[in-house]
Amino acid sequence: MPVVAGGRLTRASGLGLGVAMLWFSLLVLIPLAAVVATAAAGGWSGFWQAVTNEQTAAAIRLTVGTAMLVTVVNVVMGTLIAWVLVRDRFPGQRALEVLIDVPFALPTIVAGLVLLSLYGPDSPLGVDVANTRAAVFLAFLFVTLPFVVRTVQPVLAELDPEVEEAAASLGASRFTTFRRIVLPALAPAIAAGAALSFARGVSEYGSLVLLSGNLPMQTEVTSVRILSSIENDNLGNAAAVATVLLAVSFAVIVALDVIQRRVGRRG
């Protein structure tokens, strides 16, 4: 489709670009700029004080660290589950296919209740992780499960099995074939899923708020911290934390893209 004619936008594509930019600005750019502006209102020292506050820093470390760990687990497990769903045939496959989306569909507070009743003080399994960091990890894991699965699955389904057969006939073992042929093809999808998974983890609130206990310095995450800042009428602090999260998420997305390009080219 000709988007550019003689170095200029055609009328239709110009209109399209305008609508897209307006929409994107209203929904994303302006609110984000407002957050950053609010954070900057207190000056650099105010911002620095807010984010280096002992309790806030602990919350940021816990949230970002756990989200990264969960993302790594999701990259491995999500790819594995997608593989099983696409490549294997087994009874109950359709049911599993539907169940994968439950963490998407479930209101997060319901997920929190489920987790609390299963892994809380009255756990029927005898597993009590309430008020521990394991609770945060578990909640993140629960809500981010579908991301990598759902991004990898369609790409894997489109992958031509003959390509793997070609690698095998050239002498490649299954592992070599996976590493050098399949993985590079899946890398963009895995990276996209990982980015979604990380972003969702960092912002999670509802599913962990019941089970984690929100103990300062121990199990308190940034979203809880932001909320308490706002409740204490300290919008500047909240915006400062939000800005840090924004920067971290952006950095992670860029890093994932770089890794993905590397893997995609290497083969």
Partner 1 sequence: MSIEVTGVSKRFGDFVALEDVSVSIPSGRLTALLGPSGGGKSTLLRIIAGLERADAGTVGIEGLDATGLPARKRGVGFVFQHYAAFKHLTVRRNVAFGLEIRKRPKEEIRRRVDELLALVHLEQFADRLPAQLSGGQRQRMALARALAVEPKVLLLDEPFGALDAKVRKELREWLRRLHDEVHVTTVFVTHDQEEALEVADEIVVINDGRVEQIGTPDELYDSPANDFVMRFLGPVTQLGSQLVRPHDVAVAVGADDPDAVAGRVARVVRVGFEVRVEVSTGEQLVLATMTRTEFLRLGVDVGTTVSVRVVPGAPVVPVVPDGSPVRSGLEVHAG
**Interface contacts to partner 1, rule CB under 8 A:** 160, 162-163, 165-173, 176, 180-181, 184-185, 264-265, 267
Burial label for 70, CB within 10 Å (0-12, 13-18, 19+), is: buried
Of 184 and 216, CB closest to partner 1: 184
Of 167 and 242, CB closest to partner 1: 167
Beta strand 4-5 pairing with 8-9? antiparallel
Of 61 and 261, CB closest to partner 1: 261
Q: Where is 214: in which H helix or E strand?
A: none
Report the nearest approach of partner 1 to the CB of residue 196 (Å): 23
Of 34 and 166, CB closest to partner 1: 166
Report the nearest approach of partner 1 to the CB of residue 179 (Å): 10
Report the nearest approach of partner 1 to the CB of residue 177 (Å): 9
DSSP conformation class of 8: E
Structure tokens at 185: 């093809």
Report the nearest approach of partner 1 to the CB of residue 90 (Å): 17
Of 183 and 227, CB closest to partner 1: 183
Within a 10 A sphere around the Cβ of 211, how many other Cβ atoms?
28
| Distance (Å) of CA 35 to CA 56, 71, 75, 123, 242 | 17, 26, 31, 40, 7
Dist CA 144 CA 222 (whole Å):
17
Of 184 and 213, CB closest to partner 1: 184
Within a 10 A sphere around the Cβ of 75, how many other Cβ atoms?
19
| Distance (Å) of CA 7 to CA 4, 60, 176 | 6, 46, 46
Report the nearest approach of partner 1 to the CB of residue 73 (Å): 26
Report the nearest approach of partner 1 to the CB of residue 66 (Å): 33
Report the nearest approach of partner 1 to the CB of residue 182 (Å): 10
Of 52 and 173, CB closest to partner 1: 173
| Distance (Å) of CA 251 to CA 181, 231, 262 | 28, 29, 17
Dist CA 42 CA 170 (whole Å):
63
For residue 8, list its beta bridge partners. Answer: 5
